[in-house]
Amino acid sequence: MSVVDQTSASFLSNVFRYKMIKKTEAIWIDCDVYCHRPFPDDMPFIFAGHGFRGALNCGVVSIPAQGDLIDSLLDYYENLPDAPPWFNKNQKRKLERNASDPLPVRIYKAERTAFGPQAFTYFAKQTGDHQKALSPDVLYPVPFQLNDIFYDPYGRVEGHFTENTLSVHLYTNGTKP
């Protein structure tokens, strides 16, 4: 059974995203992102915080193909540590409970976002690129926690948009059938 079979397709997309950026310098845009306006050509850094905690999301990402941030992310995926450096005691206990699984699967089971937003946030802070984050209204005007607004016949998602909004993430992984 492959790692993707034991985790999810998002596991693979997190690795693919940075390899694609390194090779093509393209903007990564998740399939569940609605692009409200074109992205300006003169933005070398396109990423933002999301939700109520301010962690960075990587549903829309553009970073330089050469630099510490991309190198740190790719190194993390290619040389996984026994535990991500930001893991707390509870997450480390979850790793131990799944000791028979391959390391990527153990990490994923301990924290699903360890290969996505958590890794991106951690390494952006380590490299000093965290300060280049756009405000949430640019890419993620609707917090993940309010995802139901997209399906509320009385809701008005447009009220979350600002003149700066370029995209909105629909967070299909948080959508109930």
Mean pLDDT of 28-32: 93
Q: What pLDDT does 107 receive?
A: 93
- On average, the pLDDT of the chain sits at 90
The conformation of residue 121, written as its DSSP 8-state character, comes to H
Please give the structure tokens belonging to residue 55: 């962690």
Which position has the higher pLDDT, 52 or 43? Answer: 43
Work out the pLDDT band at 112, boundaries 50, 70, 90. Answer: confident
Task: Say if residue 75 is exposed, middle or buried (CB neighbours under 10 Å; 0-12, 13-18, 19+).
Answer: exposed
pLDDT tens-place string over residues 127-172: 999 999 999 999 999 888 888 888 888 878 888 899 999 999 988 7
Helical axes 89-97 vs 103-110, angle rounded to 10°: 130
Please give the model's pTM, rounded to 2 decimal places: 0.90
**Would you tell me how many other CB atoms lie within 10 Å of the CB of residue 52?**
11
Quickly state the pLDDT bin for 83 (edges 50, 70, 90): very high
Model confidence at 123: pLDDT above 90 = yes
pLDDT recorded at residue 50: 79
Would you state the structure tokens that stand for residue 149, as one six-digit string? 């607004």
The pLDDT of residue 9 is above 60 = yes
Q: Which of 50-64, 85-99, 127-141 bottoms out in mean pLDDT, i.e. has the lowest?
A: 50-64
**What's the pLDDT at 78?**
93
Residue 1 has pLDDT above 80, yes or no: no
